[in-house]
Amino acid sequence: MQEMIEKVLESRWLWLVARLCLVGVFLASGLAKLIDFDGGMAEMTAAGLSPAGLFNGLVVVTLLSGAVLILLDRVVWLAAGMLGGFLLLTILIVHHFWSKTGADAQISMFFAMEHIAVIGGLMIAAIASHLRRLVANVSD
């Protein structure tokens, strides 16, 4: 049983599925902001970001390029940093629960905690990608 579990954990397909699960939300959000660019600009305006078109464009590029790099298992440390930085900025700009009250504060805190958990997952992906490359180089 242990040997089977190790084979699954070391498999390329599970590594791909894990990366796909991690970046699905970034792909969906980036594509939504690209397809409905006006809606994305409305989000930027609501967050107080101006010019909205520039910020929406930067967000689309960040979300999609970061997600694709992780899916391709290329410079995952950079992609994780980009997406993690995006999430951190989102907490500071949109989900600043410390300056809200009541239900708004609670909802923002939950979003902030979820974002922090995903940042941790991105960090783990960067570490795993690095270690998988080290193991592959040793076995070559």
pLDDT tens-place string over residues 73-88: 999 999 999 999 999 9
pLDDT at 82: 98
Residue 13 one-letter amino acid? W
pLDDT at 134: 94
DSSP 47: T
With contact defined as beta carbons under 8 Å apart, do 60 and 34 qualify? yes
**Residue 140 — very low, low, confident or very high, per pLDDT cuts 50/70/90?**
low
pTM: 0.93
In this predicted structure, the answer to whether residue 31 has a pLDDT above a threshold of 70 is yes
pLDDT at 139: 72
With contact defined as beta carbons under 8 Å apart, do 70 and 79 qualify? yes
Tokens of 33: 């902001």
Over residues 126-135, the pLDDT tens digits come to 999 999 999 9
Tokens of 83: 């997406």
User: Which residue bears the tokens 């940093």?
Assistant: 81
Distances (CA, A) of 110 to 80, 88, 96, 107, 120: 21, 14, 11, 5, 15
Over residues 34-83, the pLDDT tens digits come to 999 999 999 999 999 999 999 999 999 999 999 999 999 999 999 999 99
Percent of the chain with pLDDT over 90: 96
